[in-house]
A and B are shown apart, each in its own frame.
Chain A
Amino acid sequence: MTTNAIEAHGLVKTYGEKRALDGVDLAVARGAVCALLGPNGAGKTTAVRVLTTLTLPDAGTATVAGHDVVGDPVAVRRVLGLAAQDATVDGLLTGHENLTMIGELHHLGRKRAKERATVLLEQFTLTDASDKLAKEYSGGMRRRLDLAATLVAQPEVLFLDEPTTGLDPRARNDLWDVLDELVAGGATILLTTQYLEEADRLADDIVVVDHGRVIARGDARSLKRQVGGDQLRVVVADRADLDAVTAIVGRIAGHQPTVDVGARSVVAPAEGGTSAISALADALTEAEIRVEDLGLAQPTLDDVFLTLTGAPPEADDDAAAVPVSTISEEQR
């Protein structure tokens, strides 16, 4: 099959003055998992709403499983499963009733809808809670029920809008495991997230969006590489040592470090990786500076954004000026 499960070209959606989507292109192959990564207000949810026919785009075209989202929305709705951002399960219905209702609205017929509900509750380890009202579910259970609801009609393409937002770490890990299984089963998934870690864990492709535009694509490794890789980070015990440490880190890293006085930390991009760490440790020992923490830090989503959006203080960074960068993906 040559057609992509999801394709979008030049999607634009404005709300008043705000351009929620400002020319977004997407292509997700069948069976692939794509993460839209971005901060709040980047346009992630709007993109999902357009692709799931909930919102009409102002410009651009998009297809899901080959069906045009504007021209044939009902066909699109037949093949998609959507888990919206705030787990829209019906609190006044039981878990089983929730899934049965969705099945009936997918026209499975009442009997088959009930059978399907039972199977899904089992699959999502909700059988014990099957007859409990969904409002009594925990956050993690609600998410699982919501996810089960998206799978009722065995959709070809799944849209998960921030599937783990608001979950505690344990529930998040559980949900990731569930998503892993779906992925192993060959589902095509478009998910949105604010967490680089989550995108990294679940997705083949990461599309970084900000202000309604795609600002980078690639896998997590290539994105991090684009940010500049690892960073040296030192936290000193005594604030008075900050100047001395800044000088040492600057010398070893070869970059002007960023100093956070409140956190008593000094951070700079590290070219040499582990060898830089040992050099730094030696230098600090020699200078007899008491250190609370010393290590190589992975770039965070903040770093990715600062670099990609060109917002950081040192704005002449090479990555900063590139609006849409294509990253080679030979590593996967």
Chain B
Amino acid sequence: MSTQAATETPTLHPARPARARGTFVSDTWVIARRGLIHMRRQPEALSDATIQPVMFVLLFAFVFGGAIAVPGGGSYKEFLMGGIFAQTIVFGCFGVALALSNDRNNGAIDRFHSLPISRASVLAGHAVANLIRAFLPIGFMTIAGFVVGWRIHSGVLDVLGAYGLMVVFSFAMIWIGVLLGSLVPTPEGVQGVAFVVIFPVTFIASTFVPTSTLPSVLKTIAEWNPTSSLANALRHLFENPGGVTPSSGAWPLQHPVAYTLIWAVGIVVVCAPLAVMQYQRSIKS
């Protein structure tokens, strides 16, 4: 070592007192707040949660709506809203996937991990920010729906149940997003998966058309697709047409709320641990 190094230079600053570790919640909130600021300053990245669902509402209500008949009668606009809510909530997984993927690619994750915080709080912060983000499209669509003529016919409890179910499913989708963001190396890749995998999943469902109109194989897929059951559950809870298909058809068609909840729990139970594992692997190297 050099002579300068050998002299006893005192450290630049005294060591800071070590703080307690019960900081998980506050660390999570700091990172969540950052995520929310990102969203606010990047409105174009929010288009899938704002403009896109509203556009779908308008497109289907006025362009395709006239050509699609609701079995058992009723307003297509009222049928439509449950589907668009469901689709947008499923798309909600991309926000968190993109955010994680960006953070990993621009070094933010490394920065966070060189800080004395729980690494779980980085993931949790993203999850919280994106759960809050999920309220945005739900609000936008509610307004857009009312504007085009959607009406709720059920009581307060059912409506609360419907919105509660949306939040629960949004939470589940976040874990799919974390898994996706950890598996797919680049933000471009995430976009690709969005288009090739998730987009069809939301269309081979009762999102825009009744499943009874689909050819047999697609019909079965659509009937068991959780996007369908979420859409149907919302229709059921809002007392819109197309909610519950009584006594005919697959079990999910008859019990959309229960089936949707099973999926939500299933996704969290399966995807959350996988996502955390995959996330840890993706940041290890």
- Give A residues with C-beta under 8 Å from B: 1, 15, 27-32, 52-56, 65, 74-75, 77-80, 82, 84-86, 88, 90-93, 97, 101-102, 104-107, 133, 149, 153-156, 182, 185-188, 204-205, 219, 329, 332
Considering the complex, which residues of chain B in the window 203-246 have a beta carbon less than 8 Å from any beta carbon of chain A? Answer: none
Report the minimum CB–CB distance from A198 to chain B (whole Å): 17
B34 CB contacts on chain A under 8 angstroms: 90, 93, 101
Choose from B7, B37, B115, B284 the contact partner of A93 (Cβ within 8 Å): B37
Report the minimum CB–CB distance from B284 to chain A (whole Å): 7
A102 contacts B115, CB within 8 Å? yes
A107 to B12 alpha-carbon distance, docked (Å): 20
A80 contacts B5, CB within 8 Å? no
Q: Say yes or no: A133-B41 contact (C-beta < 8 A), given A56-B284, A107-B116.
A: yes
Q: Say yes or no: A82-B111 contact (C-beta < 8 A), given A29-B5, A55-B285.
A: yes
Choose from B3, B38, B115, B285 the contact partner of A106 (Cβ within 8 Å): B115
Report the minimum CB–CB distance from B32 to chain A (whole Å): 11
Q: Does B66 contact A (CB under 8 A)?
A: no
A106 contacts B116, CB within 8 Å? yes
Mind listing 27 A-B residue pairs with CB under 8 Å? A27-B1, A28-B5, A29-B5, A30-B8, A32-B1, A32-B5, A53-B113, A54-B113, A54-B114, A55-B285, A65-B15, A74-B116, A78-B18, A82-B111, A84-B110, A86-B107, A88-B107, A102-B111, A104-B30, A105-B112, A105-B117, A107-B116, A154-B16, A156-B11, A156-B12, A185-B12, A332-B2
How many residue pairs, one in A and one in B, have C-beta atoms under 8 Å apart?
A: 120
Choose from B2, B19, B41, B111 the contact partner of A205 (Cβ within 8 Å): B2
**Chain B residue at minimal CB-CB distance from A80:** B114
A316 to B236 alpha-carbon distance, docked (Å): 85
Chain B at the A interface: SS class: loop
A204 contacts B2, CB within 8 Å? yes
A84 CB contacts on chain B under 8 angstroms: 107, 110-111
A329 to B4 alpha-carbon distance, docked (Å): 12
A1 CB contacts on chain B under 8 angstroms: 8
Q: Top 10 closest A-B pairs, CB basis?
A: A31-B9, A32-B5, A88-B107, A29-B5, A154-B13, A204-B2, A77-B116, A82-B114, A107-B19, A78-B116
A42 to B176 alpha-carbon distance, docked (Å): 37
Q: Say yes or no: A105-B27 contact (C-beta < 8 A), given A79-B15, A80-B114.
A: yes
B8 CB contacts on chain A under 8 angstroms: 1, 30-31
B30 contacts A105, CB within 8 Å? yes
A193 to B47 alpha-carbon distance, docked (Å): 42
B116 CB contacts on chain A under 8 angstroms: 74, 77-78, 105-107
A104 CB contacts on chain B under 8 angstroms: 26, 30
B108 CB contacts on chain A under 8 angstroms: 88, 90
20 extra A-B contacts, CB within 8 A, seeds A104-B26, A332-B2: A29-B6, A31-B5, A32-B2, A32-B4, A55-B285, A65-B15, A78-B116, A88-B111, A90-B108, A93-B34, A104-B30, A105-B115, A105-B116, A106-B116, A149-B111, A153-B16, A156-B13, A186-B11, A204-B5, A205-B2
B13 contacts A86, CB within 8 Å? no
Q: Say yes or no: A101-B7 contact (C-beta < 8 A), given A32-B1, A55-B285, A88-B110.
A: no
B106 contacts A86, CB within 8 Å? yes
Most-contacted residue by chain A among B8, B106, B115 (CB, 10 A): B115
Q: Does B23 contact A (CB under 8 A)?
A: yes
A101 to B111 alpha-carbon distance, docked (Å): 11
A186 contacts B10, CB within 8 Å? yes
What is the 8 Å Cβ interface bit string for chain B, positions 184-201, against chain A (1 contact, 0 not)?
Answer: 000000000000000000
A219 contacts B2, CB within 8 Å? yes
Choose from B7, B18, B115, B285 the contact partner of A31 (Cβ within 8 Å): B7
Q: Say yes or no: A30-B11 contact (C-beta < 8 A), given A97-B37, A107-B19, A205-B1.
A: yes
